[in-house]
Amino acid sequence: MTAPSAADETAPWAGWATDLATAVVRRAPVFEERLDTPAAVIRDELAAALGTMPARASAEVTVDGSWTRDGLAGMELSWDCGYGPRTRAWLLRPAGEDGTLPGVLALFEHGGVKLAGREKLADGPRAPEGELGAVVRASRRASYGGRAWAEDLARRGAAVLVHDAFGFGSRRIPEDGGPGRLAESEVAKAAGLLGASWAGLLAGEDRLALSVLRSLPAVDGARLAAVGMSGGGARAGVLRALEPHLAATVVVTMMSTLGAMFPAHLARHAWTWLSPGLGAAGDWPSVVGSWTERPLLVQYGLGDPLFPRSGMEAADAQLRRRFAAHGHEGNYAAMLLPSGHVFTRQMQTAAWDWLGEILGFGPR
């Protein structure tokens, strides 16, 4: 063997990601399809990968205000999750509806916007103004067809809870967003050093929010669902794996096999999803589809630049195999659409129709 030249020693390591993946797989499998693995095993391995979730298991909820407008009755809620400022949330219901309703946890996307949290999906007592208003309007135009979709869903007959979570809105880290912006990777480093992860912190707070929703009067705790697009879809998928009693879940433009994404499609995704060790818990479709007893709708945007089309199509096939293998093929629904990384109004209507059939609500 000849000695490498000086040029060889200083040349960029162009294939580092592939070389690293090959070496890792020799030691331990990653991105595995978990066709027959029990859902409880996948849940436990996912929880281990996400790390410590310091949020409380339950919380005392304070009602901080209420309002009625545009066919909605809203309440402003808050609770202490055990660290940081109080979590702020809105509960939305159809105005004049006093009966028990199914509950939906509405999960906002990342979108590179942390100034807003719950405001991305709902206006609350009034439309946000100033800088926040401008940010929210831009976010909704980019992702949701300009609609505050949590409000639209509530008007159809659901009790919808939309809450802030670690790093966003009322729980935004002060240094993140101003001069000397605190990089997201720095937060991820701090969390990792503590045996936690940004994705795990969100998962713990989302589980607490689900507990809050289940505990609220006039909410049917047996009819609970989670809905999210993009980063909100990642949160919905993780919540589904950790909380098997969710009656239904909608994941929008957040589904692909992980192997197809590696390494070219990683850069535009955030620490709020791509947690260290995630791939060791199984391939993403296997994780999200772990509990086949409960219905799952996935909406794919086949023109989505954040995911390879091959990975989306492979994820759909993998989910179909898992649900069929456990005798629940009717519980998986998919919409493969010629759209991008968006949750359009048409997609929202289709999702609400599907969700309404399962939870028992409809247009008003």
Q: Is the pLDDT of residue 49 over 90?
A: yes
Q: pLDDT: is 21 or 346 the higher one?
A: 346
| Tens digit of each residue's pLDDT (9 = 90 or more) over 211-247 | 999 999 999 999 999 999 999 999 999 999 999 999 9
Look at residue 276 and tell me whether its pLDDT is greater than 70: yes
Is the predicted pLDDT of residue 267 greater than 90, yes or no?
A: no
- 0.85 surpassed by pTM: yes
Share the mean pLDDT of the chain.
92
C-beta pairs of 59-67 under 8 Å, 24+ apart in sequence: 59/208, 59/211, 59/212, 61/212, 61/215, 61/216, 65/125, 67/124, 67/125
- Provide the pLDDT for residue 256: 98
On the question of pLDDT at 298 being above 90, the answer is yes
pLDDT over 50 at 5, yes or no: no
Q: What is the pLDDT of residue 10?
A: 63
Which tens digit of pLDDT belongs to each residue from 302-327?
Answer: 999 999 999 999 999 999 999 999 99
Q: What share of the chain is helix, strand, coil (3-state, %, to 5)?
A: 40, 20, 45
2 pLDDT more than 60: no
Torsion of CA 32, 253, 21, 186, to 10 degrees: -120
Q: Give the model's confidence band at 182: pLDDT under 50 very low, under 70 low, under 90 confident, else very high.
A: low
